[in-house]
Amino acid sequence: MRSLWFMLVNDLVQLLSDLVKIPSVTGAEAEISHFIAEWCESHGLPVEILPVSSNRSDVITRLTSPQAGPRILFNGHMDTVEPGNGWTRDPFGAEIEDGRMYGRGTFDMKAGLACILYVAAICKAEGLPRKGELIVTAVVDEESIARGTYALIEKDITKGVDLAMISEPTDLNVVTAHCGRAVFEIEVRGQVAHSELPEAGVNAIEQSAILVNALKGLRGPNHPKIGTTRVSALRIDGGQEEAMLVPDRCRLLVEQCLVPGHTMVSALEDLKRLIAGIGVDASVKVPARVTPFCEPFEIPDDDPQVRFVAETAGDILGGTPDLNFHRGPCDSCILVNQGKIPTIEFGPSGSELHKPDEYVQLESVNRTAAVYKQIVRKLLS
């Protein structure tokens, strides 16, 4: 089986290259999902297609043993952000130089996705699992509002899963904590007046400026590893370009990156208190969306699942990886908070995430795949 492993590792780079060459910006994942389904079938893997929205589907493969055992989920997202400007290389060229592959999605997260797909193929070829079940899911919409992973929960694909692993890039460290994300819509109210007599009214845009400048006072709890919640004003909209009116309405969109221990409910109350304290007339609400906003989470360092993953990765890497955290929300937050599944991230090294000339270190891709294979071998043999 050793020769099979090294043969497949050589092909792993080809799979990653094929994935990178398929543009799959959020909302346009149809082509890559078709490719992944065909790739799985060509490697003898069973394929399930889970429609998520119009022309957008998750791709699922399951390897199930008749013998009872743990149920393990490997999850990765197919979508990427837009390539944007400033590239010195073809963002869909999958160019390789000095042990790096360049391209949009190489690092976030087609390398990790390629790893879990290939590990499924290896396990199938080696007759694994001998007990329990391995579920591999390639999902849409992670870069937006996590429709793909949320659909897995809604359709009970994740029901009874004992451990989920997400192959986000972690620089070969084990990520056990995540910030969440809350977004609030604020309507600031003023009083209309003729713009030649502004003192006769209350300018809602000027009141909004007072509020935006006060946002830095929102702190929330302090997390020992991550620090405090961060807040950003994302959008402001108010007034009329030609009308000679002091605007009586202005709308803001405010985001908070929540550290573990800071919930959306408490963040909303903090924001309301801030508004009341500065004397601005405004109302706040959570915007409607089809999936929940991401609450933060943290799995304790001494959790048995964390110790297991860290020790298993250490077997492959030759040293115990760091236990780390991510500030940005991702599908882990959905699996933990809505799916009630212990979820840990492990993935390759690289740089320029969401930037021009994004790349992944290919040696770290091989190591990531080896760690995932070892996890399956230990849990499902």
- Which of left, alpha, beta for 153 (phi over 0: left; psi -120 to 50: alpha)? alpha
When pLDDT is cut at 50, 70 and 90, the band that residue 343 belongs to is: very high
Q: What is the mean pLDDT of residues 215-220?
A: 88
Q: Quick one: pLDDT at residue 242? A: 73
Q: What is the per-residue pLDDT across 275-290, written as a single tens digit (0 to 9) for each?
A: 999 999 999 999 999 9
Q: Quick one: pLDDT at residue 1? A: 39
Q: Where are the domains of the chain?
A: 2-178+296-380, 180-285
When pLDDT is cut at 50, 70 and 90, the band that residue 117 belongs to is: very high
DSSP 31-92: HHHHHHHHHHHHTT---EEEEEETTEEEEEEEEE-SS---EEEEEEE--B----S--SS-TT
When pLDDT is cut at 50, 70 and 90, the band that residue 9 belongs to is: low
- Would you say residue 240 has pLDDT above 90? no
Instruction: Tell me the β-bridge partners of 202.
Output: 191
Q: What is the mean pLDDT of residues 114-119?
A: 98
- Would you say residue 2 has pLDDT above 90? no
Q: What is the per-residue pLDDT across 26-54, written as a single tens digit (0 to 9) for each?
A: 999 999 999 999 999 999 999 999 999 99
When pLDDT is cut at 50, 70 and 90, the band that residue 225 belongs to is: confident
Q: Is 265 helix (H, G, I), strand (E, B) or coil?
A: helix
Q: What is the mean pLDDT of residues 324-332?
A: 90
Q: What is the mean pLDDT of residues 168-185?
A: 96
Q: What is the mean pLDDT of residues 135-163?
A: 97
Q: Quick one: pLDDT at residue 3? A: 42
Say what percent of the chain tops pLDDT 90.
92
Contact 220, 228 (CB under 8 A): yes
Distance (Å, whole) CA 199 – CA 191: 10
Q: Quick one: pLDDT at residue 158? A: 97
Residue of 265, 268, 249, 257 lying closest to 232 (CA atoms): 257
Helix (H) or strand (E) holding 298: strand 297-298
Average pLDDT across the chain, whole number: 94
Q: Quick one: pLDDT at residue 220? A: 85
- Would you say residue 5 has pLDDT above 80? no
The pTM for the full model equals 0.91
- Would you say residue 7 has pLDDT above 80? no
Distance (Å, whole) CA 53 – CA 33: 13
Q: What is the CATH number of domain 180-285?
A: 3.30.70.360
* 2-178+296-380 to CATH, choices 1.10.287.90, 3.40.630.10, 1.10.1030.10, 3.40.50.12780: 3.40.630.10
Q: Quick one: pLDDT at residue 328? A: 81
When pLDDT is cut at 50, 70 and 90, the band that residue 215 belongs to is: very high
Contact 60, 120 (CB under 8 A): no
